[in-house]
Structure 1
Amino acid sequence: MTAALAFSAAAPANELSEIQKLLKSGQTAEALQRADKALAAEPKDAQLRFVKGVALVELGRQNEAINMFVKLADDYPELPEPYNNLAVLYAGQNQYDKARTALEMAIRISPSYATAYENLGDVYAKLASQAYAKALQIDGGNAAVPPKLALIRELFTHRSRIGGTAQGAAAP
C-alpha cells in the first residue's frame, strides 16, 4: 500500500513486525493467533486490528474481515486504508455500489491516495460493464454497445493477467 498509517501503535513494534513477517511468509493462521493475543492486551491498537483484518482476508474469512475493517473505520475515521480494503472486499462480492462509497470515503480522507483512485476506476469500469450488458440485454440490436462492452472486458482480462483489479493492503 502506498500510504502509511499515520498513528502510533500501542503494541510493541517488534510484535507487529513479527506478525507482518508471518503474514508475508504465508503463516497466516499463526499471524492471526498472534494478532489476537496482542489485541487481547491492546484492543484499540489500529495497526494490529488492520493486520488482523488482512489475515482474515487471506484465510478466506471475508465477512469477518469486513466487520474488522468497518469497526476500524468507525473507531479511526481519519484512516483511508480500512475504507480501501472494505472496497476491495465489497468488489469481490460484486457489491460495487458499496465499494464505490467506501473508496469515495478513502479519497475524501486522503485526496492523494493513488491506490484508492485506481480502485475507484476499476469499480466504475465494472459498473459500466454491468450497464452495457443490461443495455445489450434490453436492445440486442444496438450496434454501439458490443464494442464498449468488449473493451471493458478486455481491460479486465488484461488486468487479471497482470495481477488482478482492485488492490487491498498487504500490511499497514
Structure 2
Amino acid sequence: MKHAAALSSSSPARFLSRFLPVVFVALAAAAAHADDYGDVNALLRQGKAAEALAKADAYIAGKPRDPQMRFLRGVILTEQGKQAEATAAFTQLTQDFPELPEPYNNLAALYAGQSQFDKARAALEMAVKLNPNYATAHENLGDVYARLAGQSYGRAQQLESGNSTVAPKIALIRQLFAAPASGTLPAAPAEPRKPVRR
C-alpha cells in the first residue's frame, strides 16, 4: 500500500496576520521549519534513520503540536520496521488532527501489512471521506477490498469445497496481487504497499 508522502495543503499551517512585520517573521519561521523537514528527509534518504529520528524527536520536543514533523516521525518509524511505534504515532495524529487524511492512509498501510484488513478499510474510508480526491487512499482502499474479497472467497471455499464458482475468483485475486506488470502490486499478500513518504 502507498503511504502518504506529505500532509495535504489543508494542514493547519496557515499564517494570517494584519501586520506586515509579523508576516515576515512567520515566513522566516516557516522557512526554518522547511529546513528542519528537509534535514530529516535528507537523513532518511541517506539511510540514517536513527539520526533522522533523533532530529525529528528533538524538533518535536520544542514543537509538540507540529503535525508535519510528527507525520515524518511516523514515516521514519515505519522505515525502521518499528510497526507498533509507527502505528501509535499515526493513531495519535488521527486523534490530534482528525481533519488530515494522510495519517489515516499510513495507518491503513500498517494495518494491511499485518493482514488487519478490516482496520485498514476503516482507516482508508476515513481518509477518502476527509478528502474525496485522495487518489492514493482510493487505490489503497481498492486493494484492501480485494484482500477482503479474497478472504471471503477462501472462507466460502472452506465451507463448501464443491462450489465451482469460488476457485476462479480466488485465482483472479491471487493473480491481481502477483502481477508484476504495473510494478506497484506486491508479491506477498500481506506486504504493505504505497506508503506515502514525506
Matched, 1:5 2:11: no
What is the identity percentage for the equivalent residue pairs of Structure 1 and Structure 2? 51
Q: Is the 8 A contact 2:105 2:123 kept in 1?
A: yes
Q: CA deviation at 1:25?
A: 2.1
- Structure 1 unpaired stretches of 5+: none
SS at match of 1:12: helix
Q: Could you tell me how far apart the structure 1 residues matched to 2:68 and 2:180 are?
A: 30
Q: Any idea what the Cα deviations from partners look like across 1:57-92, whole Å, max 9, x if unmatched?
A: 011101111110011111111110000000000011
The match for 2:120 among 91, 96, 99 is 99
Q: Which has the larger radius of gyration?
A: 2
Matched, 1:113 2:134: yes
The match for 2:194 among 146, 167, 170 is 167
Matched, 1:20 2:41: yes
Q: Which residue of 2 aligns with 1:134?
A: 155
Q: Is the 8 A contact 2:87 2:110 kept in 1?
A: yes
Q: Could you tell me how far apart the structure 2 residues matched to 1:56 and 1:23 are?
A: 11
Matched, 1:156 2:156: no
Structure 2 vs 1, CA of residues 157 and 58 (structure 1 numbering), >3 Å: closer, same or farther? Answer: same
User: Which amino acid is 1:142 matched to?
Assistant: N
Q: Could you tell me how far apart the structure 2 residues matched to 1:26 and 1:160 are?
A: 29
Q: Which residue of 1 aligns with 2:22?
A: none
Q: CA deviation at 1:5?
A: 2.4
Q: CA deviation at 1:147?
A: 0.6
Question: What does 1:39-54 align with in structure 2 at a 5 Å threshold?
Answer: 39-54=60-75
- Number of residue pairs matched by the alignment: 171
Q: Which residue of 2 aligns with 1:87?
A: 108
Structure 2 vs 1, CA of residues 32 and 84 (structure 1 numbering), >3 Å: closer, same or farther? Answer: same
Q: Is the 8 A contact 1:3 1:113 kept in 2?
A: no
SS at match of 2:154: helix
Question: Deviation above 3 Å: which 4+ runs of structure 1?
Answer: 1-4
Q: Could you tell which deviates more after superposition, 19-28 or 118-127?
A: 19-28
Q: Which residue of 2 aligns with 1:57?
A: 78
Structure 2 vs 1, CA of residues 42 and 2 (structure 1 numbering), >3 Å: closer, same or farther? Answer: closer
Q: Is the 8 A contact 1:53 1:65 kept in 2?
A: yes
Give me the CA root mean square deviation: 2.0
Q: Could you tell me how far apart the structure 1 residues matched to 2:5 and 2:39 are?
A: 21
User: Which amino acid is 1:5 matched to?
Assistant: S
Using the size of structure 1 for normalisation, the TM-score is 0.92
SS at match of 1:81: helix
Structure having greater relative contact order (Cα 8 Å, sep ≥ 6): 2
Q: CA deviation at 1:23?
A: 1.4
Q: Is the 8 A contact 1:86 1:99 kept in 2?
A: yes
Q: Could you tell me how far apart the structure 2 residues matched to 1:42 and 1:160 are?
A: 44
